Amino acid sequence: MNRFVAIIIFLAIAAEAPCEIILDVVYPRFGDDGALPVIDQVDSSFVFGSVDPPGCIVLVNGLEAKVYPNGAFMAFVPLDYESMSYSVYARSHTDDAMIVVPFTFPEPVAADTLDYTLPVTLEVTHPHAVIRYSEDYGVYYMFPVEGAICFADRIDDNFFGIRLNEAERVWIEDKFVEVRPDLPLPSVSRVYSLYVDDFDSEVQLVIPVMKRPLHRVIELTDPPRLRVILYGFESHIDVIRNRTSYIREVRWEQLNPETLALTLFLDSPRNWGYYAEIDSNGYFIFKVRKPPPTSLEHLRIAIDPGHGGTDFGAIGPTRLNEKEINLIIAEKLARILNRKGTAVFLTRTTDEFVELYDRMDKAYKWGADLFISIHNNAVSDGVNPFERRGVGVYYYHPNSLELARAVYKRLLDKTELPDDGLYYGNLAVPRTTTMPSILVEAAYIIHPEDEMLLRNEKFKKRIAIAIYKGIKDFIKTTQRETDNW
Ligand SMILES: [Zn+2]
351-363 pLDDT, tens digit per residue, is 999 999 999 999 9
300-484 fold: Aminopeptidase (3.40.630)
What are the pLDDT digits (tens) for 454-475?
A: 999 999 999 999 999 999 999 9
- Output the pLDDT for position 19: 66
Ligand 1 centre distance from Cα of residue 146 (Å): 28
Asked if domains 22-102 and 189-289 share a fold, the reply is yes
CATH superfamily of 120-179: SH3 Domains (2.30.30.40)
What are the pLDDT digits (tens) for 70-108?
A: 999 999 999 999 999 999 999 999 999 999 999 999 998
Ligand 1 centre distance from Cα of residue 314 (Å): 6
Burial of 235 per CB tally in 10 Å (0-12, 13-18, 19+): middle
Which contiguous run of DSSP H or E holds residue 303? strand 300-305
- Output the pLDDT for position 112: 81
Class of domain 22-102: mainly beta
Ligand 1 centre distance from Cα of residue 347 (Å): 14
**Could you give the CA distance from residue 431 to residue 313 in angstroms, rounded to a whole number?**
19
Ligand 1 centre distance from Cα of residue 250 (Å): 40
Class of domain 189-289: mainly beta
Domain ranges of the chain: 22-102, 120-179, 189-289, 300-484
Ligand 1 centre distance from Cα of residue 172 (Å): 27
Burial of 157 per CB tally in 10 Å (0-12, 13-18, 19+): middle
Ligand 1 centre distance from Cα of residue 306 (Å): 5
Ligand 1 centre distance from Cα of residue 341 (Å): 28
Give the SS3 label for residue 180. coil
Ligand 1 centre distance from Cα of residue 381 (Å): 15
Decide: 281 and 204 in contact? Cβ < 8 Å: no
Section 161-178 average pLDDT: 96
Ligand 1 centre distance from Cα of residue 440 (Å): 9
CA 17 to chain centroid, in Å, comes to 49
